[in-house]
Structure 1
Amino acid sequence: MPLHFELVTPEKLLRSEEVHMVVVPGSEGDFGVLEGHAPFMSTIRDGEIMVHKTAGGAPEAIRVEGGLAEVTTRGLTVLAEKAG
């Protein structure tokens, strides 16, 4: 089953898609999120979100600056201060 991933900035919704996995630069260290991950929230540090669209595919890097990541039963939402 895919993971629903959304990337949002104060200006707009940048991404809303189904992916395999996302690796987020959390303030306490990088963490990966797959479908079915336990719910939690984390602040994020400046860095790159790595979006894995498929299990074996090369990841896409998206630069982010600050914000929050929230994992719920609906998926992963990253609320970034800046992205792109």
Structure 2
Amino acid sequence: MADLHFELVTPEKLVRSEDVYMVVVPGTEGDFGVLAGHAPVMSTIRDGELSVYRTAGAEPERIAIEGGFAEVGDRGLTVLAEKASA
């Protein structure tokens, strides 16, 4: 499967821009995983942790985030967080 392009952005800077296998996002309606080819969706996010899987079966890297939005589109996943500590 092709890689998912993932970007994490705060008001201050672009925190991450990389190709990964999967990201699990803490949505306000529940956590959701995003792989390459995911249907377009937009969601608000709650305070929590993004789980970033660089490859299938890898241990996730966890990034604490606070509030914001997540958008999945043709170009991949973009998380616009109020705060992120990577």
What TM-score do the two structures reach when normalised by structure 2?
Answer: 0.97
Q: Distance in 2 between matches of 1:38 and 1:8?
A: 21
SS in 1 for 2:71: strand
Q: Give secondary structure in 1 for the equivalent of 2:19.
A: strand
Matched ranges for 1:2-81 at <5 A: 2-81=3-82
Q: CA RMSD in A?
A: 0.3
Give the aligned length.
84
Unaligned stretches of 5+ residues in structure 2: none
Structure 1 letter corresponding to 2:75: R
Q: Unaligned stretches of 5+ in structure 1?
A: none
**Which string of whole-angstrom CA distances, capped at 9 and with x for unpartnered residues, describes residues 14-63 of structure 1?**
00000000000000000000000000100000000000000011000000
| Structure 1 position 8, deviation (Å) | 0.1
Q: CA deviation at 1:4?
A: 0.0
Distance 2:57 2:28 in 1: 27
Percent same amino acid among aligned pairs? 75
Provide the C-alpha distance between the structure 1 equivalents of 2:41 and 2:59, rounded to a whole number of angstroms.
Answer: 26
Q: Which runs of 4+ in 1 moved over 6 A?
A: none
